[in-house]
Amino acid sequence: MDEEGVKWVKSRCFFCSINCAILVGVKDDKIVKMRPNEEHGTLLCERIGENGERAIKFHYHPKRVNYALKRAGERGENKWEQIPYDQALDEIAEKLEKLKKEYGPETLGVIEGTYRSDHLWARSRFTNLWGNPGTLADPGTVCWCWMFTVNMAVVGNQIETTLTPGVENSKCLVVWGCRINERFSPKGYVNRVLKACTEDEETRVIVVDPVMIDAVRNADVYLQVRPGTDLAMMLGWCNVILSEGLYHKDMLAQWSNGPFLVRMDNGKLLRETDIAKSPWENEQRQVKGTGKTLSHGIPKKGDRPYGYRPRTNTALRASKMRWKVNMK
């Protein structure tokens, strides 16, 4: 509580996917002001206003729907009546149950915005309990879901953010297919980090985009790829990084699936269940013709399909050699 009687509460902004930490000032049970949370080094951007005035106006806008409304006239007349939430829930449940009995739970379709809020668990929980297998339309199904999948496959944990942690300490920043200057506020966290990287003489900024976007003006290198050729260039980069040893060895061994053995016959990761039993009764498996055992670099039974972390650098050798293994 400050000297003006304003109570400051910690919160976060949901006007974009960054969710910056903010402080919300409340007086007489009403939001009167907002300010950045200095503990997190955030700023209030143009989207909500320097003092949060735009967010406050949005919150208390007279046309904002804060109650359950039921159509009072014909469809399209824009006539509504306010009803209690219990009545609304009962009527909706009755209609849904009728539809479910007639057409099955797949008849319910969910259309929503991208994954930037905290309501997803409720929607998923409801549709699953209702028997719906997941009939939904969402921008996240074509972008965020796949970023999540790659994170789990390579790192073993969900680290995906708009900019990954520690990017400000990187010596090379690649902006690939993301129009940061258009997507986020000029005062927002992402653009501030990008600006800091472009001003740092030690940091190289590479922009990959078919179109000369705004970020190009401050980039050290601009790669204007032809649409559809991104994957070929990415594989070329991977080839150089691996062949010239430019990768971070500890990161590869401890935080990725890079050391896992890949089967030559089908291109899939070698699983423990693929290998014949060794003379030992522990989890190790014998490598044919070497007299050695390989206890790392192979996903074990019971491990998560993604995210198994090799525990020693013995796994790193698996990424540089070919091994003959006794198969079942």
What token pair was written down for 164? 């990954």
Contact status, residue 276 vs residue 288, Cβ threshold 8 Å = no
* Residue 215 pLDDT exceeds 50: yes
Name the more confident of 301 and 325. 325
Q: Which two tokens stand for residue 257?
A: 């699936």
H or E element in which residue 198 lies: helix 189-199
How far, in Å, CA of 282 to CA of 301, rounded?
Answer: 12
- Residues of the chain with pLDDT > 70: what percent? 76
- How is residue 104 written in tokens? 């099955």
What per-residue confidence (pLDDT) applies to 159? Answer: 63
**Hey, CA dihedral for 32, 33, 34, 35, is it positive or negative?**
negative
Q: Is the pLDDT higher at 181 or at 8?
A: 8
Q: What would the pLDDT profile of 265-293 be if each residue is shown by its tens digit?
A: 888 877 777 777 644 334 444 444 444 44
Contact in structure between 22 and 12 (CB atoms under 8 Å): yes
* pLDDT band at residue 103 under the 50/70/90 scheme: very high
Residues near 35 by beta carbon (within 8 Å), at least 6 away in sequence: 8, 22, 23, 25, 44, 51, 52
At 308 the pLDDT is 40
Amino acid 284: pLDDT: 42
φ/ψ of 325, rounded to 5, equals: -125, 135
pLDDT attached to residue 309: 42
Q: What's the chain's Rg over C-alpha atoms?
A: 27
For residue 112, what pLDDT is reported?
A: 74
Residues for the chain: how many in total? Answer: 328
Comparing 304 with 196, which gets the higher pLDDT? Answer: 196
| Residue-wise DSSP of 257-324 | STTS-B-TTT-PBPPGGGBPPPSSSSS--EETTTTEE--SSSPPTTS-SS-----SGGGGGGGT----
pLDDT single digits (tens) 87-97: 999 999 999 99
Q: Which long-range contacts (CB under 8 A, 24 or more apart) does 93-100 make?
A: 96/130, 100/130, 100/131
User: What would the mean pLDDT of 240-267 be, rounded to a whole number?
Assistant: 79
Nearest Cα to 176, choosing from 189, 163, 159?
Answer: 163
pLDDT tens column, 155-210: 666 665 545 556 667 788 888 888 877 777 777 777 777 887 888 888 898 999 99
Q: Is the pLDDT of residue 235 over 90?
A: yes
Q: Taking the model in full, what pTM does it have?
A: 0.56
Higher model confidence: residue 188 or residue 240? Answer: 240
For residue 68, the model assigns a pLDDT of 95
